């Protein structure tokens, strides 16, 4: 497969079991909450401050689908875009634990749970990842797990 001009910084070998990867931070802005919700999740508590305050969520709250999209961008910027990522076939679970509100600042962390080589493709490996997202108070707002595919830096010789 064709790679960028230089080799990506991170490959399968770097995602060592137990290692932790920072996901940086992301400011949650009211305008962006409303913009995402208008396109994809037009429920009152995602569109309107007063409706959000009156709801279980307690304020203008990001759609859960917006939260995972913001997570994806954090993941891309933290390490995925500069890696040998070959995509992911799915997500084991997402738990929306706490409302993500306008004005919040999200931070995140990836923990590597498992690593295994592909049996059919010697150049490929699977990495099982757990991700936690926190708000500025350190409250866990979202957690998810998935297995991603990465090319090896040094393919195993059969």
Partner 1 sequence: MSIEQYIGVERELGTHRFTADEIIKFAAKYDPQRFHVDPEAAKNSNFGGLCASGWHTTAIWMRLNVEDMKAELAAAAVRGEEPPQFGPSPGFENLKWLKPVYAGDTIRFTRTLHALRPLKSRPGWSMMQMSSAAYNQNGDKVLAFDSAALIALPG
Which residues of this protein are in contact with partner 1, per CB under 8 A? 1-2, 36, 39-43, 45, 56-57, 63-65, 68-70, 72-73, 76, 80-81, 85-96
19 or 38: CB nearest partner 1: 38
85 or 110: CB nearest partner 1: 85
- Element (H or E) spanning 31, and its range? helix 30-40
CA angle 28, 29, 33 (to 5 degrees): 90
Residue 131: CA count within 13 A, CB half-sphere: 28
Local structure of 126: helix, strand or coil = strand
Q: Going by C-beta distance under 8 Å and a sequence separation of 6 or more, which residues neighbour residue 39?
A: none
- In sign, the C-alpha dihedral spanning 61, 67, 70, 71 is positive
58 or 103: CB nearest partner 1: 58
Q: Alpha-carbon distance 152 to 149, whole Å? A: 10
18 or 89: CB nearest partner 1: 89
């Amino acid at each position: 497969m064709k790679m960028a001009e230089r080799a990506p910084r991170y490959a399968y070998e770097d995602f060592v079991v137990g290692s932790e990867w920072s996901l940086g931070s992301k400011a949650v802005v009211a305008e962006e909450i409303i913009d995402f919700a208008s396109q994809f999740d037009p429920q009152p508590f995602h569109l309107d401050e007063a409706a959000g305050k009156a709801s279980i969520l307690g304020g203008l709250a990001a759609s859960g689908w917006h939260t995972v999209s913001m997570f994806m961008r954090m993941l891309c910027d933290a390490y995925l875009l500069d890696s040998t990522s070959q995509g992911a076939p799915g997500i084991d679970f997402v738990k929306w634990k706490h409302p993500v509100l306008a004005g919040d600042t999200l931070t995140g962390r990836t923990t590597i749970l498992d690593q295994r080589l592909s049996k059919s493709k010697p150049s490929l490996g699977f990495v099982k990842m757990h991700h936690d997202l926190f708000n500025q108070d350190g409250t866990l707002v979202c957690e998810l797990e998935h297995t991603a595919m990465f090319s090896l830096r040094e393919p195993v010789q059969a």
